Amino acid sequence: MKLKIFSPAKLNLFLSITGRRSDGYHELETLFQLLNVGDEILFEYEESKVITEKPKIELFFSKKTHHHKFTRNITLHPKEDNLIIKAADLLYEFAVERNLKRKFTDISILLDKKMPLGAGLGAGSSNAASTLIALNQIWQLYLPVDILAKIAVNLGADVPIFIINRSAFATGVGDVITPVDLNERWYLLIFPNKSIPTQALFQSNLLKRDYPKKTWHEWLHSPYFNVFTPVASKLFNEVQEAIDWLTNYSEPFMSGTGSTVFAIFEDHEQALNIQKKVPSMWWSIVAKGVNSNQLLY
């Protein structure tokens, strides 16, 4: 049997830090915009081979060869620190601990990687969420969305947004989610071939952590900004270079902790025309902002 799932990318249209908790986590306010572009993940399994022990998970992926070409070569992915494997393990442990009715089977997973990692697009988080959604169905756990989202937050603060599959305003550590309807506009995304370690930005002394809190209504009447942009552009020249280039054509923004910068367009053709001018050394794509995606197909 085969199950294919779309693993969408996201943008943070704004991102503010309003404080830091005693446990070290940061209080955020952000607007997640889902996109109609992302990775694809294929799950293969034998429905008749139900097992009682822990399932074997094999993960393969289409290997990226350089900044904007991906081969179709299937390469075994190292399992350590991989969110797909962690998601599968977490769901298995949840089901066993609660003695849920289930039909565990071994799974072979092929990740068709189209989005760059370390780019502020939520690629790894989306892959983890997609794995939870797919295995919830394959293993016949039938957990509701709210339970899957609670499991997902253990994998990362922005993983639940992909479980809920809605563009949303998020607060807390990114886990208090309010779905919102956004205008479906077009975005030009530029990845300047620099993966940024999130931890480096959160630990930076340059990071401002005390912006005043705003309601969603207040944000609707406020200019958008990303608290990480001045830090990322200071620490990584590639980000500043992309921002400087995009400034010639439109107002630039940065997504998440970077390094993807983007511009917003009402017109698809205008976004495509500017994409044609993007320096060939950078990865770029034009994507449509959506309020939700069809995931399983």
**Catalytic residue numbers, as ranges:** 10, 158
DSSP state of 296: B
Instruction: Quote the tokens at residue 120.
Output: 């502020």
Across the chain, where does the E strand assignment appear? 2-20, 26-44, 57-66, 69-76, 107-112, 168-171, 176-179, 186-191, 253-254, 261-265, 283-290
CB 55 within 8 A of CB 39: no
**Rounded distance, CA 10 to CA 33, Å?**
5
Q: What single letter denotes the amino acid at residue 253?
A: F
By DSSP bridging, strand 168-171 and strand 253-254 are: unpaired
Whether residue 154 contacts residue 90, with contact meaning beta carbons closer than 8 Å, is answered with yes
Asked if 132 and 57 touch (Cβ cutoff 8 Å), the reply is no
Main-chain phi, psi angles of 71, to 5 degrees: -80, 165
Q: Which residues pair with 189 in a beta bridge?
A: 262, 285
- Long-range contacts at 205-209 (CB < 8 A, ≥ 24 apart): 206/230, 206/231, 206/234, 206/235, 207/17, 207/231, 208/17, 209/17, 209/18, 209/19, 209/20, 209/26
What CA–CA distance (Å, rounded) separates 228 from 233? 8
